[in-house]
Amino acid sequence: MMSSPGFPSKLLENAVNEFASLPGIGRKTAFRLVMNLLKRDPGEVERFGETIIRLHSEIHYCKICHSIADTEICSICSDDKRDRSTICVVENIQDVMAIENTGQFKGIYHVLGGIISPVDGIGPADLKIDSLEEKVKTGGISEVILALSTTMEGDTTNFYLSRRLGKFDVLLTTLARGVAVGDELEYTDEITLGRAISNRSPYHQ
Amino acid sequence: MMSSPGFPSKLLENAVNEFASLPGIGRKTAFRLVMNLLKRDPGEVERFGETIIRLHSEIHYCKICHSIADTEICSICSDDKRDRSTICVVENIQDVMAIENTGQFKGIYHVLGGIISPVDGIGPADLKIDSLEEKVKTGGISEVILALSTTMEGDTTNFYLSRRLGKFDVLLTTLARGVAVGDELEYTDEITLGRAISNRSPYHQ
């Protein structure tokens, strides 16, 4: 195969095309990234390529919570110290990581793999909802925390899940809504501020 | 090896770290890129990784002009139709591609691999200047076009090259300076505008 006009090498062009296929990476940026790789040690670049190849062949999705894992069951689901009676339902793996980083949650997770979004053509059948219902139905679950985005899609998904899970003997909760820590009141949107006033709590010194 | 706090998988963490090591890619962006790869077909991701691995092992630097090539001599240097008596000296491969895209140059190139920049610790010995002098010394070269950036570093390099090459029977030229095509005069900087007036040319209809 010949390289395109301007490209001195087909291999260089292929590499630029691969990087430019990533979201948010234009052709100029892709070129800069490839030139950066070319300046590095060969071993380093080989390791980069091998890590990408191993991504698909070696990564697992946890059979219990559907999060990403190095083994069949993720480290959280296989941890005896976690409270298995409390399930935190999240949209994706980034959310698991964000909540884990707070150090405030000792239960286990359930990753839906998205939220209901008719605009994007994502319905309940595209999400891991059946397996969630199965867990609750089987018993041993006392609380399901719906930790989804505070968007219309998140609200829709919360409503759908509450219909599916409400018939079982389980407590459904959502994350507290209120003024974010560090936010100034005058810049807080009025819906958030309104909820923060209605749901006000006793002052602790 | 254990994964860091928050990361559900060591392999995922490695992949994010590799992408975050690229210039201008932060950890959040790196995560997004890796999640994009995970959603693709395995074959596609494998090809991406293999292209990166092949970058170092299969790419060549042309023995004549030092540009990137798929073979020992690049397609420009091995093209009989190019004028080998005119050498265009450029900083890097992007510049070769930019000039090739104009379709206005029929000579050959010489890629310096950078410009003299004391701030970055780049001196003449770090650039492909000896091989350029050797070409001119050997003879058969009638013109050397100094096509470097119009920066202080570019000017310094031009001056250095003119000292090294001036002793040979060769015409040294630089790119025309002037008002860029499409630019409005009122927004053109005064140094450029000043040069454009001094170097004014006869009007052609």
What domains, with CATH codes, occur in chain A?
10-58 (1.10.8.420), 68-174 (3.40.1360.10)
pLDDT for the residue B5? 55
Of A7, A46, A52, the CB nearest to B37: A52
Given pLDDT bands bounded at 50, 70 and 90, which one contains residue B125?
very high
The answer to whether A78 contacts chain B (CB < 8 Å) is no
pLDDT tens for each residue of A114-173: 999 989 899 999 999 999 999 999 989 999 998 888 888 988 999 999 999 999 999 999
Cα gap B56→B54, rounded to integer Å: 6
Percentage of chain A lying above the pLDDT 90 cut: 54
Give the separation between CA B1 and CA B7, rounded to whole angstroms: 12
Determine contact, residues A67/B46, Cβ cutoff 8 Å.
no
* Shortest alpha-carbon distance between residue A29 and chain B (Å): 9
* Separation CA A165–CA B23 (nearest Å): 47
Distance CA B80, CA B103 (A): 16
b/e string for A116-155 if b means 16 or more Cβ within 10 A?
A: bbeeeebeeeebbbeebeebbeeeebeebbbbbeeeebbb
Q: Collect all residues of chain B within an 8 Å Cβ-Cβ radius of residue A96.
A: 8
Q: pLDDT tens digits for B133-156?
A: 999 999 899 999 988 888 889 889
Residues in Cβ contact with B172 at an 8 Å cutoff, skipping those fewer than 6 apart:
B143, B144, B146, B161, B162, B165, B166
Q: Would the pLDDT of A185 be above 80?
A: no
Instruction: State the SS3 of chain A.
Output: CCCCCCCCCHHHHHHHHHHHCCCCCCHHHHHHHHHHHHCCCHHHHHHHHHHHHHHHHHCEECCCCCCEECCCCCCCCCCCCCEEEEEEEECCHHHHHHHHHHCCCCEEEEECCCCCEHHHCECHHHCCCHHHHHHHHHCCCCEEEECCCCCHHHHHHHHHHHHHHCCCCCEEEECCCCCCCCCCHHHCCHHHHHHHHHCCCCCCC
**Which of the two residues, B195 and B61, has the higher pLDDT score?**
B61
With beta carbons under 8 A apart, name residues in chain B contacting A16: none
Q: What is the pLDDT of residue B3?
A: 46
Question: Confidence band (pLDDT; 50, 70, 90) for A6?
Answer: low
> Is-contact A65 A77, C-beta < 8 A?
yes
Chain B residues with CB inside 8 Å of A76's CB? 8
Residue B79 pLDDT > 60, yes or no? yes
ipTM summary value:
0.75
Quick one: closest CA in B to A76, which residue? B8
- pTM, to two decimals: 0.74
**AA identity, residue A188:** T
The answer to whether B34 faces chain A, any CB pair under 8 Å, is yes
| pLDDT number for residue B205 | 59
Query: What's the per-residue H, E or C state across B105-127?
Result: CCEEEEECCCCCEHHHCECHHHC
Res B46: pLDDT: 92
Chain A residues with CB-CB distance to B58 below 8 A:
11
Distance from CA of B83 to the nearest CA of A (A): 18
